[in-house]
Amino acid sequence: MLTIGAAYDTQSSVAYGDWLLRRDIKDYKAWTVDAFMEYPARSGVYTLSGAAFKYDTGDAYNQSPDPDLPVNSDLKGFYLKGGYMLPGKVGPGRLQFFARHENSDYGVKVGNAEYYDQKWNSIGANWYLDGQKLKVSLEYAKVKFDTPDPSNRSLRDYNQLTLGLQFIF
């Protein structure tokens, strides 16, 4: 299986570069491309996916923006994810291992620093107990900021362990 997708969006006059004086009107442009590949073989099932995207409001956030303008107004990034599912059952289900790399560039400048920019690397496993209807996931991620913010703990490097349960009824 191979799927490829692409999208583009544009909207006029979504923000001001100078919100206080209501001037320097900015348009919004965004695009994304993605791909997904799954290859079943005797040795297991191999999966690869990725996407890239860019949101653009003409750098309005770094000027004198509307206080309601989100921090991701000029975000660009990508991710790559690879997976391998064992060929047979493990207990009552199928076991898949995966790894992911994600890079996000918010373009938010505070002096010479860009505190929001980050890289996310993770590894994990999915245990499919009833296909997509019932799945247990475990993922370990290491998030590193290009410039950790000394005054905001949520913008500093961290490790994260996530246990997830998906059930569809």
Give this prediction's pTM.
Answer: 0.86
CA 124 to each of CA 16, 144, 165: distance values in angstroms, whole numbers, following the listed order:
42, 18, 14
pLDDT, tens digit, 9 for 90 and up, residues 38-66: 999 999 999 999 999 999 999 998 888 78
* CA gyration radius, the chain: 20
Q: Helix or strand or coil: residue 145? A: strand
**Which pLDDT belongs to residue 141?**
98
What's the rounded mean pLDDT across residues 61-85? 92
Q: How many domains does the chain have?
A: 1
Domain coverage including residue 83? 2-167
Q: Helix or strand or coil: residue 61? A: helix
CATH (domain of 45)? 2.40.160
**Which pLDDT belongs to residue 166?**
96
Q: How big is the chain, counted in residues? A: 169
